[in-house]
Amino acid sequence: MGKNKTMESNHRVASVLATGLFVLLCGFIAFPLLAGLLASFRPGRELVQNGLAINWDFRTMTLDNYKYLFGLGGDNSKVDSAKYFMWYKNSLILTILTVVLTLLVCYFVAYGLTMYKFKLQGFLFFMVIATMCVPFEILMLPLYQEVTTLHIINTRAGVILPGLCAASTIFFFRQYMQSLPHELLDAARIDGCTEYGISVKIMMPITKPAFASMAILCAMGSWNNMLWPMLVFRDTNKFTLQIGLNTLLTPYGNNYDLLIAGSMFGIIPILVIYLIFQRYLIEGMTSGAVKG
C-alpha cells in the first residue's frame, strides 16, 4: 500500500513535469506568431526601427494597418489593397487548381499502379521512388528553360504541370489502396462495370479519407510555395501572395504596414483548413514514415 502511494505521487510529479514541458514548448512556438499579431496593430515603421518584440501595450494599438489593408486608408491604401487582394486571389485560384488536378491525376496513377499486374509496374513504382530522390532544386534551372520553350512561362500551367504527378502523393494513395480489398474489383466487373467506371464509382468513394489528408497537405504546400512560382511568374499582377509579400520586404521599410497586416491575414486560410481537417492531416503526413 505504501509503495503504491509513492508510485502514484511519482507518477503525478512526472505528469506535471512532462505536461509542463509541452506547455513551455507551445509557448515558444506561439511566441513569434503572437509577436507578429501584436505588431500588426502598430505602425509598420516601428517594426523597421525597433525590430519585433512582444508588446502588450494595448493603449497604443490601432486598427490602421488593417484599415489600410482593406483599402480604407486613402488613395495609396486603395491601390495597395487592390494589389494585395489580387495576390490573395491568385494564390487561392492556384491552390484550388493545384489541389484538384494533383489529387485526381495522382489518384488514377496510384490506382493503375496498385490495382493491376502489368509489365512495367515494378519499374514505374521504382521510378516513383527515384523521382523523390532528386531534389527539385537540381531540376529547377533546366525546367525553367523547358517551361520557357514550351511557352508556359508566366502562366499557371507552368507552375502546376511540372508538379502534377507528385511522387509522395502517388506513394500515399498507393499505400492506402493496398489495404483495401481487391475482390471489390472483380465483383464490380461481374456486374458489368468498366475498368474506368470501377476506379471512379467504386474505389474513389472508399478512398475519401486519403483524399482528405492529401488535399490538406497539397493545399498547404501550394499556398506556401515560393521558389518555383517566383521563377515562373513575371508580372506583378500574376504574383502569388508569398511572392507579393516578399516584394514588400524592402530595406526602406516603406510598406511595412501592409506587410505585417498582410502576413497575418495571409496565414488565415491555411490555418482554418488545418483546424478543421487536422485529424486527416497527421494521418496523411506520417504515412510514409511508418513503413519506411
Among 38, 103, 113, 215, binds other proteins (CB under 8 A): 113
Among 4, 59, 133, 190, binds other proteins (CB under 8 A): 133
Is 206 near other proteins (CB under 8 A)?
no
Among 69, 95, 239, 266, binds other proteins (CB under 8 A): 266
Task: Give the whole-angstrom CA distance, residue 25 versus residue 111.
Answer: 41
75/289 with CB nearer other proteins:
289
277 in Cβ contact with 209 (< 8 Å) = no
Task: Give the whole-angstrom CA distance, residue 175 versus residue 165.
Answer: 16
252 in Cβ contact with 49 (< 8 Å) = no
147 in Cβ contact with 158 (< 8 Å) = yes
What mask of x and - would describe binding to other proteins in positions 139 to 178, judged by CB under 8 A? xxxxxxxx--------------xx-xx----x--------
Residues numbered 207 to 226 that lie near other proteins (CB under 8 A) are 220, 223-224, 226
Q: How far is the CB of 144 from other proteins (least distance, A)?
A: 8
Cell (9 digits) for 244? 507579393
Residues numbered 23 to 82 that lie near other proteins (CB under 8 A) are 25-26, 28-30, 32-33, 35-36, 39, 47, 49-54
Closest to 100 (Cα-Cα) out of 188, 215, 195: 215
Which range of residues in 16-24, 78-86, 176-184, 203-211 is near other proteins by CB under 8 A? 16-24
Q: How far is the CB of 75 from other proteins (least distance, A)?
A: 26
DSSP-derived 3-state class of residue 250: coil
C-beta atoms surrounding 168 within 10 Å: 19
